[in-house]
Amino acid sequence: MTTTEERWTPNYGEPYVPVPYRPARMPADESVAEAAELRERMEARRTVRMFSPDPVPEQAVLDAIAVASTAPSGAHQQPWTFVLVEDPEVRRRIREAAEAEERISYDGRLGDEWLSALRPLGTDAVKAHITDAPCLIVVFQQRFYLEDDGSIRKHYYVDESVGIAVGMLLTALHLSGLAALTHTPSPMKFLGEVLDRPRNEKAFAVIPVGYPADDCVVPSLRRKTLDQVLVRV
């Protein structure tokens, strides 16, 4: 039996071994009802930048990460690491480094076009959410697999795989009653340094998790309708 203490290794070169997969088929009316409920619940999801410091159920966060880790990935290499940061001092260091980069970006590195696109969101270089939220999930891409002897093996479709996992993470957090924000400071090299991650990992996103603050506000935005994003052939 595999234990959490044992090192996971990829299945490079292993033979294809099919196993039965026979999930129970959901009745059509039940499927439609479930889809409608999910759509309604996800319509209420908003990106939150104003967090309450109140603690959240740790198990709900752990389960959301476990859900994210069920995402499909290229060659089933699961090229992701989720670092759960609860220590206030570590969150302070991350915020300090993130704001230093953000000030440079907002002072001109982003360019006028990108700044114009951000204006309706009301964002700036101050990233209080990093220290206000009770925890952060910092997602790293494993750009390659690092063997014990220091040699490497290539991972495939890393960007796509980790992006899907993050989408599933945000969905799981929302359906668990928690708010989240996808924060992507640029550049993000400092995250690997602050969190002491190995050389095969590259930061992908910082996700504060918590409850919205009592005075939380969000931008007045419209989502595209289904007929604006769907093409039928």
CA 21 vs. chain centroid, Å, equals 28
Contact residues for 187 (Cβ-Cβ < 8 A; gap 6+): 101
| pLDDT score, position 98 | 95
In terms of Cβ atoms closer than 10 Å to its own Cβ (0-12, 13-18, 19+), residue 75 is middle
**Do 166 and 127 meet the contact criterion of CB atoms below 8 Å apart?**
no
Computed over every residue of the chain, the mean pLDDT equals: 93
Residue 201 lies in a domain: yes
Which of the residues in the chain have pLDDT under 50? 1-3
Residue 57 lies in a domain: yes
**Using alpha carbons only, what angle is made at residue 172 by residues 167 and 173, rounded to the nearest 5 degrees?**
100
pLDDT tens digit sequence for 199-208: 999 999 999 9
| pLDDT score, position 5 | 60
Residue 222 lies in a domain: no
Dist CA 217 CA 9 (whole Å): 44
pLDDT tens digit sequence for 19-56: 999 999 999 999 999 999 999 999 999 999 999 999 99
β-partners of residue 136 are: 85, 208
Q: Which domain holds residue 106?
A: 45-216
Residue 72 lies in a domain: yes
Residue 137 lies in a domain: yes
Total domains present in the chain: 1
Dist CA 120 CA 146 (whole Å): 42
Residue 163 lies in a domain: yes
CA 9 vs. chain centroid, Å, equals 23
Give the CATH number, domain containing residue 211.
Answer: 3.40.109.10
Residue 99 lies in a domain: yes
The residue whose two tokens read 């796509």 is 160
| pLDDT score, position 3 | 47
| pLDDT score, position 120 | 87
Phi, psi of 214 (to 5 degrees): -60, -30
Residue 11 lies in a domain: no
